[in-house]
Structures are given as C-alpha cells and as structure tokens.
Amino acid sequence: MQKSIREISTSSIVEGMMLAEDILDNEDNILLSEGIILREKYIEKIKDLNIITIKIVDSNHLIEKKKKFESVVKMDKVFIATKEYAKKVVKSTVKSILEDSSVDFEKIEMIVSQMIEDIFMSEDITLNLAKIKILDDYLFDHSVNVCVFSLIIGIFMRSDKDELKELGIGAMLHDVGKAFVPQDILSKPSKLTDKEFEEIKKHSKLGHMSFSKKVSYGAGEAILSHHENIDGTGYPNGKKSKEIHVFAKIVSIADVFDALTSDRVYSKKIDKYSAVQIMLNDVGKKFDISIVNIFLKAISCYPIGLNVILNTGEYGIIVKRNMDRPLVRVLLDKNKQKIQGYFEIDLSKNPSVNIVNIDPNKSIIKNN
C-alpha cells in the first residue's frame, strides 16, 4: 500500500502523528527514525533543533494500517517461529555431522520450503533487518540469516520455487563445514595466524564433502564456492567470474553483509549503510555487480554519495536518504554529458523515476 505523506510545519505537530522520513543531523546521523510515533519528548526535540517542517504519514493511511496490524503481527510471529525452528534444524545437522550419524535431510528441505512460503506471504518482500536479525547464536543464526537474504535476492532475480529451494538449501548449509574447524580458532577474538586462517579456509570443502551427494549441483556449489572472488583471489579453487555458480555469488554477498551487520567475537557490528559501502568497494573484485545491484534494491539501501543510473538514462548521486526512495542529484544526461546547474529528484515524490543500476564506472566523477 502506497503511503500518503504530508509536509507540515513543526508548529502543527500533535502527539500520535507518524514520522514519514528520518530526521538527520548535519552529518547525516539519524536523530529520529521514519515510522516513529511522535510523543511529547520527540516533538520538543524537533522544535529544539529549529526544524521548520517535517513529513508525516497521513492519518487516513494510519487508519488503513491499523486494520492490517493484527494480520501483519500474526505473519511476523509465523516468520520468527520458522526462523527459530530453522536454527534448531541447523544445530541438529551440525550435531549429526560431528557424531557421524545420518542427517535428516527432509527437515532441511521442509524448513527451506517453509521459509520461501513465509517470505512470499510477507506484506513487503523488501528486507527488514529488524525482523530477520532476531537470533543471538552467531554460527547458527548466521546460517539462517544468510538463507533468508539469499532467498530474497533470488526472488528479486525472479528465480522459480525449485531454484529458490536449491539456493536456500545451499545458503543454509554454507557454513556447516565449520563444524570440523577447532572451536578455539572459530572463537578467537584476535587476528588469526596464517596457519589458523588456512584451517578456516578448509570449511567450504569439508561442508561440500558432507553434502555433495545429497544436494543439487547448484546447492553444492553455494557450499563449496561462496568464498570465491570475481577476480580469482578467493578460495578454495581460485575461480573467476564466469566459473563461479550464480548461487555461490548470491550466498557470498549475503554471507558478507550478515557478517558485517552482526556482532562477532572479533568485531562489532556496523550499520547497513556502512556495510554496503564496504561491499561496494569490492564490486568487480569480490562481488558480481549485477547481483549487488539486485541486493541494494532488496534491502532498499543506497548510501549517501553512491553514483546511480536512473530509468530515465540520467546519472546522479545520492544526496539524502529518504526511506527507500532517496533524493538524487542528477548531474549527467543519458549521454553522460554534464548538466548545467544540475537538478534534484525526490524519488519519494516521483514514483515513475527509479534507480536501475549503480554506476560502476563512476561516470560523474570522471565528467567533473
């Protein structure tokens, strides 16, 4: 459902209104988040900042939203329950591997299928990190998070349900080989030695050996090759771009993003914008640009300063975050010629204009 948004003066704010976009400070740090219900203390804070106007969600939209609230809460609870069960399945799988007993592969297939259905049943397929990152046992919840992230990328790539099932199985099992890595290495809070890192690198082959005869080729490649890099510098086989299966490319992106945005024994989590910026620096080195493009759409995350291409053919740069529809400063026309004086497009107010690609060649920088 499209939100109806109004801009009002701060003198007209009343308690109970919903903020329609983030309020940022001069350094683009979020002071008040979009979607927050305005209470007295928030209203005072806004006025203390000498803000003249804010954008709020229209009351008619809130009434409709309230009608759907119970069904949305119910769906959220189902999704959380599925994730909790998925975590148990991953734990059980690792336990079976370590005990050299048979793995209940039907449970793995069943839970991946259920996750696919839950995602399709969601109000908005676009990734909501608050809903996804709800678990607290890193090795196991990481496997489940990577599965969810990978499935949503697959959905945005228009994969069919059979392909999604293969992708989801590979993503959920991508790190099971770490069951064979000594725990003291996995939980080491300081930098690994070269020898310890070589031990870590064995996990993808070990995981593949455990499941290659049970899973499809694509799922097996996701387990084996999710640490391969586009430029051939990855492991275990140093594959390059076209040699790497698309499922492995997807899981690689999901794996790194979840790792960066999670607390780990050796590093604290960072926000999604910072994580995306780090990953963008590795486009063409570690990551496939076409899949990174799809991922950015899936998580609605466009960092300030990102060079983008619009469906109009014009080139611009993100100058302000605005929910999932940022403000774009258009600097080049479709022929990459500099626009005199430039202009800005607020995508939240212009639904016909969309970001279709990030600009890997950074044409704006080259033309300025």
Cα 343 from chain centroid (whole Å)? 30
* Residues facing 283 on adjacent strands: 287
Of 124, 145, 138, the closest CA to residue 1 belongs to: 124
Averaged pLDDT, 318-331: 83
Q: What was the pLDDT predicted at 229?
A: 97
Q: What was the pLDDT predicted at 239?
A: 97
R_g over Cα of the chain: 22
Q: What was the pLDDT predicted at 36?
A: 77
**Does the pTM of the predicted model rise above 0.75?**
no
**Residue with the larger pLDDT of the pair 88 and 81:** 88
3-state secondary structure of 20: coil
Of 273, 326, 287, the closest CA to residue 153 belongs to: 287
Query: How does pLDDT run across 214-269, given as a tens digit for each residue?
Result: 899 999 999 999 999 999 999 999 999 999 999 999 999 999 999 998 887 778 88
Distance CA 55, CA 158 (A): 34
Q: Is residue 172 within 8 Å of 113, Cβ to Cβ?
A: no
Of 199, 147, 196, the closest CA to residue 169 belongs to: 147
- Lowest mean pLDDT of 4-13, 26-35, 56-65, name the range: 56-65
* Residues facing 53 on adjacent strands: 9
3-state secondary structure of 21: coil
Of 27, 31, 36, the closest CA to residue 51 belongs to: 31
Q: Is residue 354 within 8 Å of 297, Cβ to Cβ?
A: no
Averaged pLDDT, 25-29: 69
Query: How does pLDDT run across 141-175, given as a tens digit for each residue?
Result: 889 889 999 999 999 898 999 999 999 999 999 99
Distance CA 324, CA 297 (A): 9
Averaged pLDDT, 70-94: 69
Name the percent of the chain in helix, strand, coil, to the closest 5: 50, 15, 35
Q: pLDDT grade, residue 74 (50/70/90)?
A: very low
